[in-house]
Amino acid sequence: MQIEMPQLGETVAEGTITVWHKVVGDRVAAGDALFDVETDKASMEVPATSAGILSEIRVNAGEVAPVGAVVGVIAGENETDASAQASRRTVSAPMTSAPISKQAPEIRPPTSAATSRPARHMTPFTEVVSPGRGYGPARLSNGVSVTPYARRLAAELNVPLAQIKTGSSQRITASVVLAQPRSGGVQGVAGQYEAGSFVAQPVDSMRAAIARRLTESHTSAPIFHLTMDIEMSGIVGRRAQLNALSGESAKVSITDMLVSHWAAALKAVPAANVVWSGQEILKFSRVDIGVAVALDGGLVSPVLRNAAEMSVAELSRALRDLTTRARGKRLKESELQGGVSSVSNLGMYGVRQFDAIINPPQSSILALGAIQRRPLEDKDGKLLFAPVLTATLTCDHRVIDGALGAQLLAKFQELAQHT
């Protein structure tokens, strides 16, 4: 039986195998964990669907394979050597450079050059196709093969593949690309530092995706920022009251309460509960909010669905669950998609104020700073000290104008200070 790279989401075209839990020759039972695969958003464990012996691993840990590619083979307990050889010679449908669709990929007939030798499976040397971008052919004109990850790194680092000398190996991997001399552009940065004074760390799929998406957001969407102070005495007091009535495991946080107020603000200002689709403005009847979660090497923003209809306690439980699974890389692809706005909180690090970058295709993001005691003037003109938080709203001007953004942020301030 052939082990294929599973479909990891509608917009995901490839995955990186991070670890194999079995080695060639191991006995496998149905349901046993075979390997872990990581995309630019999440990580998942892939189980065996049938029993047998793991007879072949075709894509090693650290390598990238397109969805549907054969990454290994499980031979039946009684399978003969001849049938195992036949399984290994089976050629799966390679990825093409055409747009990704849900139809079965076209199987290319072998070329005349390939008819003189037995057909062999091309993974991991088929073309890499990702949404919106491909990284070139899997085999250069001089016959040298290039792994998918190496092609992507070469494109991102501006390394000409044709100029790389491979010797007798006739194969270019990611480590070969990273070892090449670099000049100009991104490479020029490393060239300004003394050799041996730094270590070049390969960019993993999550960090590469963050770089691509947020660069796209910052360069393609016309954005503006609005900043407002929130007097936090009411929230601090209400949180203390709620937690006094709940058990230790059900305590709500300041972030929970602020996310709840942000959802309520978007519901109260429905004109801002929209996204830009390129040719249309999508208006939503419910409020879905992403909440930024910091991970080692990056961050993700799982989406709370219908957040405006949750109580603070319900929202707190849902957010705690999403955060726990995000840090364990156990989120589903669907939990990372969609949403109209996001909330990012750096207050726990002592950051007073910052401008967050919108996570496309969302139209806004609310950045929350630290709560600080600051001098304020009360309604009678007397000076007092109170806890204050600075909130900064980043808006996509294509769908949220300045006045609308100000109305939304003012509604958030009103709800946070008086409800």
Residues 237, 343, single domain; the answer is yes
Confidence grade of residue 245 (pLDDT, cut at 50, 70, 90): confident
Residues 145, 216, single domain; the answer is no
d(CA 129, CA 135): 7
Greatest alpha-carbon span in the chain = 93
Residues 49, 151, single domain; the answer is no
Query: What's residue 248's pLDDT?
Result: 67
Residue 54 backbone phi and psi in degrees, to 5: -70, 105
Positive or negative, the CA dihedral 406, 412, 418, 419 is positive
The verdict on residue 107 lying in a domain is: no
Residues 154, 264, single domain; the answer is no
Residues 142, 32, single domain; the answer is no
Tens digit of each residue's pLDDT (9 = 90 or more) over 265-274: 999 999 999 9
Residues 82, 194, single domain; the answer is no
CATH number of the structural domain spanning residue 63 = 2.40.50.100
Q: Which residues contact 324 (CB under 8 A, 6 or more apart)?
A: none
Instruction: From 172, 203, 234, give the residue that closes a domain.
Output: 203
Instruction: From 174, 203, 232, give the residue that closes a domain.
Output: 203
Residue 130 backbone phi and psi in degrees, to 5: -125, 160
pTM exceeding the 0.85 threshold for the entire prediction:
no
Residues 159, 269, single domain; the answer is no
The verdict on residue 109 lying in a domain is: no
Q: What is the CA radius of gyration of the chain?
A: 26
Instruction: From 150, 177, 203, give the residue that closes a domain.
Output: 203
Residue 304, classed as helix, strand or coil, is strand
338, HSE (Cβ side, Cα atoms, 13 Å): 17
pLDDT of residue 131 exceeding 60, the answer is: no
CATH number of the structural domain spanning residue 245 = 3.30.559.10
Query: What's residue 79's pLDDT?
Result: 58
Q: Is the peptide bond before 124 cis (omega within 30 degrees of 0)?
A: yes
d(CA 116, CA 322): 54
At which residue do the structure tokens 């993700």 appear? Answer: 300
The verdict on residue 389 lying in a domain is: yes
Find the range with the poorest average confidence among 9-18, 28-37, 69-78: 9-18
Residues 199, 55, single domain; the answer is no
Q: Which residues contact 250 (CB under 8 A, 6 or more apart)?
A: 313, 316, 317
Number of structural domains found in the chain: 3
The verdict on residue 103 lying in a domain is: no
Tens digit of each residue's pLDDT (9 = 90 or more) over 45-62: 888 888 899 999 999 988
Q: Tell me the mean pLDDT in the region 169-198.
A: 72
Query: What's residue 37's pLDDT?
Result: 86
Q: Tell me the mean pLDDT in the region 372-396.
A: 93
Angle between helices 402-418 and 233-245 (to 10 degrees): 50
d(CA 63, CA 172): 12
Query: What's residue 314's pLDDT?
Result: 94
The verdict on residue 104 lying in a domain is: no
Residues 175, 267, single domain; the answer is no
Q: Tell me the mean pLDDT in the region 211-229.
A: 85
Find the range with the poorest average confidence among 261-265, 311-315, 337-341, 379-383: 379-383
pLDDT of residue 116 exceeding 80, the answer is: no
The verdict on residue 108 lying in a domain is: no
Q: Which residues contact 322 (CB under 8 A, 6 or more apart)?
A: 291, 293, 302, 304, 331, 335
The verdict on residue 84 lying in a domain is: yes
The residue length of the chain stands at 419
Tens digit of each residue's pLDDT (9 = 90 or more) over 316-368: 999 999 999 988 888 888 898 899 999 999 999 999 999 999 998 899 999 99
202, HSE (Cβ side, Cα atoms, 13 Å): 17
Q: Is 225 a catalytic residue?
A: no
Residues 409, 270, single domain; the answer is yes
The verdict on residue 410 lying in a domain is: yes
β-pairing, 293-295 vs 64-66, is unpaired
Residues 266, 147, single domain; the answer is no
**Which residue range(s) make up the domain with 91?**
1-95+114-124
Options 21, 218, 225, 397, the catalytic residue = 397
Using a 10 angstrom Cβ sphere, with 0-12 exposed, 13-18 middle and 19 or more buried, the burial of residue 395 is: buried
Residues 228, 360, single domain; the answer is yes
d(CA 370, CA 415): 19
